[in-house]
């Protein structure tokens, strides 16, 4: 991850109030199915670019971000407006209750996972600070469900035709809830939104650009 030096100087903030707001992924090369990748591949080959928007509530004094990582450079192209027309495709999938364990590990400050029942009773637990009734899924987990639906329904299983992915996290998802991903095809761009079925609430929206369309479409 590359950050400008001035972006590293962040005022003090409560990490329990940190929120992942948006994610953008631009894919330059097909991602290997079996590899160990950290910030870069050993060969030096550029695979993709990740750009995240993080909200630090109660923090401030942050300077403008540097090129090319600033969202100011992508204002027009990244604006998402969900169509009111009938979706081109709809896919339903159920998240797993076991994914709550991952949420606990992400939010826990300690190196060892604390027993969940004791952890939730702590007044300093992030779930109490954020007023969630139980552990939530990571936003990238929800994004993965939506992109998988797009690859299955529109890309016909060919993930290599995905050019870039953009998502804005709107609301939390509790592990075990059912997600409905609605997709609208506009040229080589797929507008999408994911909803929680039981709550009928949108939790994620964004777009996926493709290199080409499959012949079956």
In the chain, where are the structural domains located?
5-95+137-210, 97-130
Taking the domain 5-95+137-210, which CATH number applies?
3.10.129.10
Global pTM value? 0.75
What pLDDT was estimated at residue 129? 57
Bridge partner residues of 185 (DSSP): 190
Beta-ladder partners of 51:
24
Instruction: State pLDDT tens for residues 65-103.
Output: 555 555 555 545 556 789 999 999 999 999 998 876 444
Is the sign of the CA dihedral 53, 57, 59, 60 positive or negative?
positive
User: Which range among 5-9, 12-16, 202-206 shows the weakest confidence by mean pLDDT?
Assistant: 5-9
Give the lowest-confidence range in 55-69, 89-103, 199-213. Answer: 55-69
Task: Tell me which of 215 and 43 has the higher pLDDT.
Answer: 215
């Amino acid at each position: 991850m590359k950050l400008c030096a001035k972006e590293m100087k962040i005022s003090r903030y409560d990490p329990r109030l940190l929120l992942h707001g948006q994610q953008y992924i631009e894919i330059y090369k097909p991602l290997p199915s079996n590899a160990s990748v950290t910030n870069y591949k050993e060969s030096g080959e550029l695979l993709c670019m990740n750009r995240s928007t993080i909200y630090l509530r109660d923090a401030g004094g942050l300077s403008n971000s540097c090129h090319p990582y600033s969202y100011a450079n992508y204002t027009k192209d990244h604006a998402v407006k969900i169509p009111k027309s009938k979706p081109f495709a709809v896919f339903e999938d159920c998240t797993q209750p076991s994914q709550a364990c991952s949420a606990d590990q992400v939010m826990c400050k300690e190196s060892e996972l604390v027993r969940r029942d004791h952890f939730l009773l702590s007044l300093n637990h992030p779930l109490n600070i954020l007023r969630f009734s139980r552990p939530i899924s990571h936003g990238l987990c929800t994004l993965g469900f939506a992109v998988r639906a797009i690859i299955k329904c529109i890309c016909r299983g060919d993930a290599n035709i995905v050019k870039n992915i953009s998502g804005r996290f709107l609301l939390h998802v509790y592990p075990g809830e059912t997600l409905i991903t609605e997709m609208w095809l506009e040229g080589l761009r797929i507008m999408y939104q994911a909803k929680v079925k039981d709550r009928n609430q949108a939790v994620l929206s964004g777009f996926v650009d493709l290199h080409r369309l499959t012949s079956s479409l």
